[in-house]
């Protein structure tokens, strides 16, 4: 088996992984590995926007996030995210991120469900895509960063509770990477589910590896369903109808045309109401955007408008059939306030990590902010300590196992009620 050597190994190419890489010292040799194309990640799909906590808004943001998370959040994490939000947004803007502006050239904020005020920065309905393209453009300028696409992580190299690389497969050829630091940014668990808004290649690899190597995890039972995915049996990844639509005035109706839920409640509450109504009447539920100005909708939500039209629905005149679908994983590998896991030299960022920010239910648009704040935190800690680490080259045996099956079993153990929603492996 061939072997590569690098200073920092990052597995995953979403906002968490790329932003971490860009905040690492440019003198370090960085290797990014992703199991598909660099753009095939949930970050790229993010529609609504990124929460931006401006000075003076910290207490309100914390209150909103606590309420959405059923007060199971880490208050210390909330304070850090609130305090460091604008610094990271400003860094994105300096990198070239183009958030929506008003006619005076000032940043324009929108509101999403369960936020008490407008604090979401956005770029049409393709905020994730815009941020990702900005990060990729900056990554391509860095000669110290190498990217391997279509490369599957088979296992971590771990000795005496210290991570020092990983085993990979690319085009049926196996190879290993030795590193001083490993950063997991592999995303959530959506690919394990029959109905999800996630990319299919995101199958809980971090969760499976945590079980395999006795790495501490947290909040495994906290799985979020998004209330407004477009119902479409012919598609494996369901198209998400952004929460920002409801923030702008879209409403939810049953088959009789009745509104039965406050659309701006936290996602779990809206989802619960939809499931109850659907089960009670055994009827279709719809998202109704028709009362909104059609020209505004076509411009503000252009990508959603285009996608709906391609599927066969006119967002401005048709009721759109919806259903709840798995969307986000609040749990994951437990990390401290610097992104460190219980395994030495193993950092975890993004949806693969559980920082305590979300509690039992994620508040809309907080995930992109979390990836930015803790991606930078992890990078800063790595920059400080990496010079003291010697590259380890201990032999590790590699055996066959199925990470997807292992992750599936963990989910069932903690959320047996979702067993029938999961795919078989």
Would you name the residues annotated as active-site residues? 267
Using alpha carbons, select from 184, 212, 196, 215 the residue that is nearest to residue 407.
212
Using alpha carbons, select from 146, 18, 149, 163 the residue that is nearest to residue 91.
18
> Please, what sign has the CA dihedral across residues 421, 269, 110, 323?
positive
Q: What is the DSSP string of 79-109?
A: HHHHHHHHHHHHHHHHHT----B-TTS-B-E
CB proximity list for 102: less than 8 A, separation 6 or greater: 108
Per-residue tokens: 278: 């659907």
**Cβ pair 220, 411 in contact under 8 A:** yes
How far is it, in rounded angstroms, from Cα 197 to Cα 412? Answer: 20
Edge-to-edge strand ranges of the sheet holding 109-110: 50-51, 120-121, 109-110
């Amino acid at each position: 088996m061939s072997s590569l050597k690098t200073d920092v190994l990052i597995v995953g190419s979403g906002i968490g992984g790329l932003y971490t890489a860009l905040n690492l010292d440019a003198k370090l040799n960085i290797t990014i590995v992703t199991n598909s194309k660099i753009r095939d990640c949930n970050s790229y799909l993010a529609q609504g926007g990124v929460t931006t906590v401006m000075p003076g808004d910290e207490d309100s943001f914390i209150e909103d996030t606590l309420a959405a998370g059923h007060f199971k959040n880490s208050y210390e994490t909330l304070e850090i995210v609130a305090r460091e939000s604008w610094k990271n947004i400003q860094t994105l803007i300096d990198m070239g991120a183009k958030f929506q502006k008003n006619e005076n050239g000032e940043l324009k904020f929108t509101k999403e469900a369960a936020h008490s005020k407008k604090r979401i920065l956005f770029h049409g309905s393709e905020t994730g895509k815009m941020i990702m393209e900005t990060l990729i453009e900056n990554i391509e300028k860095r000669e110290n960063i190498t990217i391997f696409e279509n490369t599957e992580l088979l296992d971590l190299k771990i000795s005496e509770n210290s991570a020092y690389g990983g085993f990979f497969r690319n085009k049926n050829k196996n190879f290993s990477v030795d590193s001083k630091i490993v950063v997991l940014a592999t995303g959530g668990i959506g690919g394990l589910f029959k109905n999800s808004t996630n990319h299919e290649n995101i199958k809980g690899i971090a969760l499976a590896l945590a079980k395999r190597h006795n790495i501490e995890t947290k909040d495994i039972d906290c799985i979020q369903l998004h209330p407004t995915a477009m119902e479409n049996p012919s598609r494996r990844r369901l198209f998400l109808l952004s929460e920002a639509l409801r923030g702008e005035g879209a409403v939810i109706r049953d088959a009789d045309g009745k509104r039965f839920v406050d659309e701006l409640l936290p996602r779990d509450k809206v989802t619960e109401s939809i499931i109850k109504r659907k089960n009670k009447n055994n009827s279709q539920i719809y998202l109704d955007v028709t009362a909104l100005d059609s020209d505004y909708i076509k411009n503000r939500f252009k990508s959603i408008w285009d996608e709906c039209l391609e599927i066969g629905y006119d967002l401005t005149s048709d009721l759109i059939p919806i259903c709840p679908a798995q969307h986000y994983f609040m749990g994951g590998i437990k990390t401290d306030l610097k992104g460190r896991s219980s395994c030495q030299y193993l950092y975890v960022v993004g949806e693969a990590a559980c920082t305590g920010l979300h509690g039992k239910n994620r508040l809309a648009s907080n995930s992109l902010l979390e990836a930015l704040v803790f991606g930078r935190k992890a990078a800063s800690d790595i920059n400080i300590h990496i010079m003291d680490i010697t590259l380890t080259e201990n032999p590790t045996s590699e055996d066959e196992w199925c990470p997807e099956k292992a992750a599936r079993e963990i989910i069932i153990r903690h959320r047996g009620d979702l067993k029938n929603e999961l795919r078989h492996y």
